[in-house]
């Protein structure tokens, strides 16, 4: 088998900052041969920036899908466009990696699942935080039973004041929501994955629109003041996910919240034998993983050490996006299951949608 041919639909920040740099590290396995964006100049700039000399440029994704040489499609568009592009890609016989979240609604996510099952192709969703070293260690500890019965978890994606001021982030019609669907999705994914518990009983929660349209709140934002007149999505959200076995997850997500201990794509797990906590992002420039337990009658904690780096030489740990790209391409080549399964990403979308609905209706949403 020669190199796989890959096309990317949507050439915004996630394409330029994650997908293309990561795919460059697996250039021996896959080649990016097509880029598509509604803005042709943006696609051309992406092609030039990454030295994709042979890549074709499209402004209509359906024309890209008609190219029989393309094996794989990466969907990097605003959330509301994920569904139709993914469905069309499967119908065109392509393998698909769709960026997170899987879709803006559960109904859209179900259509994607149905199209995938009919296609016989590979499907995964871009939850690259699973491939961080700290998350990998925690997952292995959970799978080995070292924490015991995990009955409480916290999924944290809290920014004190880091509202994205570019792209379509504050546009509800294109994104479907704000920090809950944008960064809360990562924290929830790694928490569910480590607990290995997707059997949801009920969801409740509250979505807040407190700071987004408050002019004074935009001062001091990490990325500069946002436009408080056009900000449509929530600025923070909290959710409670009860599982059928009685375990509970507390999900917290914000772009702007007067809360000092900022972190994202982080999780806390409490088991009958041990507890564990990941602190990542925000107030923690380097990821921290702690295990807490009892030894010889005394409470103790253990911290995972980072790499001992040497000047001018990289450590052994690769960027999560690179690890994600490698396992994804190899899953296609070797006909194995990708790490992020579509059914798992579908459950994340269902939970996020339920939190929005629970807040809107002031009710608890029951799952079947």
Give the separation between CA 157 and CA 254, rounded to whole angstroms.
Answer: 6
Give 133-150 pLDDT, tens digit per residue.
999 999 999 999 999 999
Give the separation between CA 354 and CA 60, rounded to whole angstroms.
Answer: 33
**Which pLDDT value is given to residue 2?**
84
Average pLDDT over residues 173-185: 96
**pLDDT averaged over the chain?**
95
Q: Which residue has the higher pLDDT, 307 or 195?
A: 195
Lowest pLDDT segment from 15-19, 45-49, 316-320? 316-320
Burial 169-204 (b: 16+ CB within 10 A, else e): bbbbebbbbbbbbbbbbbbbbbbbbbbebbebbbbb
Please determine, for residue 320, whether its predicted confidence score (pLDDT) is greater than 60.
yes
Please determine, for residue 1, whether its predicted confidence score (pLDDT) is greater than 80.
no
pLDDT-derived band at 360 (thresholds 50, 70, 90) equals very high
| 357 membership: H or E segment, kind and range | helix 342-361
Give 198-251 pLDDT, tens digit per residue.
999 999 999 999 999 999 999 999 999 999 999 999 999 999 999 999 999 999
DSSP 80-117: GGHHHHHHHHHHTT-EEEEESSS-SSHHHHHHHHHHHH
Give the separation between CA 75 and CA 6, rounded to whole angstroms.
Answer: 11
Give 90-113 pLDDT, tens digit per residue.
999 999 999 999 999 999 999 999
- By the 10 Å C-beta count (0-12 exposed, 13-18 middle, 19+ buried), 277 is classed as buried
Give 265-285 pLDDT, tens digit per residue.
999 999 999 999 999 999 999
Q: CA of 231: how far to CAs of 173, 177, 184, 215, 235, in Å?
A: 11, 11, 18, 11, 9
**Which pLDDT value is given to residue 310?**
47
4-129+329-342: CATH homologous superfamily? Answer: NAD(P)-binding Rossmann-like Domain (3.40.50.720)
**Which pLDDT value is given to residue 307?**
54
Going by CATH, does the domain composed of 133-320+348-366 fall within 3.30.360.10?
yes
Q: Could you tell me the pTM of the whole model?
A: 0.95
**Which pLDDT value is given to residue 316?**
54
Task: Write down the domain spans for the chain.
Answer: 4-129+329-342, 133-320+348-366
**Which pLDDT value is given to residue 312?**
45
326: closest CA among 140, 186, 124?
A: 124
187: closest CA among 117, 147, 241?
A: 241
Percent of the chain with pLDDT over 90: 94
């Amino acid at each position: 088998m020669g190199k796989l041919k890959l096309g990317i639909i949507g050439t915004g920040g996630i394409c330029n900052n994650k997908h293309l740099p990561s795919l460059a590290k697996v250039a021996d396995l896959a080649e990016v041969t097509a880029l598509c964006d509604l803005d042709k100049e943006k696609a051309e700039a992406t092609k030039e920036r990454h030295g994709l000399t042979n890549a074709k440029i499209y402004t209509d994704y359906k024309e890209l899908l008609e190219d029989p040489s393309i094996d794989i499609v990466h969907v990097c568009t605003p959330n509301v466009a994920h569904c139709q592009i993914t469905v069309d890609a499967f119908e065109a016989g392509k393998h698909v990696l769709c960026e997170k979240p899987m879709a803006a609604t559960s109904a859209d996510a179900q259509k994607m699942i149905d199209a995938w099952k009919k296609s016989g192709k590979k499907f995964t969703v871009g939850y690259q935080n699973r491939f961080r070293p700290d998350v990998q260690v925690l997952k292995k500890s959970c799978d080995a039973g070292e924490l015991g019965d995990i009955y409480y978890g916290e999924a944290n994606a809290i920014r004190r004041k880091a509202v994205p001021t570019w792209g379509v982030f504050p546009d509800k019609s294109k994104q479907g929501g704000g920090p809950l669907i944008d960064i809360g999705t990562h924290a929830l994914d790694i928490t569910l994955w480590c607990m290995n518990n997707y059997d949801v009983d009920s969801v409740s929660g509250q979505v807040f629109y407190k700071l987004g349209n408050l002019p004074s709140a935009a001062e001091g934002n990490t990325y500069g003041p946002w436009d408080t007149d056009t900000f449509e999505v929530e600025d923070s959200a909290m959710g409670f996910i009860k599982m059928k076995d009685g375990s509970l997850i507390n999900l917290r997500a914000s772009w702007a919240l007067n809360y000092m201990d900022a972190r994202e794509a982080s999780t806390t797990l409490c088991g009958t034998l041990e507890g564990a906590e990941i602190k990542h992002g925000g107030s923690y420039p380097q990821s921290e993983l702690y295990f807490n337990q009892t030894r010889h009658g005394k409470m103790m904690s253990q911290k995972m050490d980072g790499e001992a780096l040497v000047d001018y030489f990289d450590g052994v740990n690769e960027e999560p996006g690179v690890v994600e790209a490698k396992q994804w391409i190899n899953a296609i080549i070797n006909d194995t299951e990708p790490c992020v399964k579509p059914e798992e990403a579908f459950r994340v979308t269902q939970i996020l949608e339920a939190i929005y609905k629970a807040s809107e209706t002031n009710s608890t949403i029951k799952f079947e």
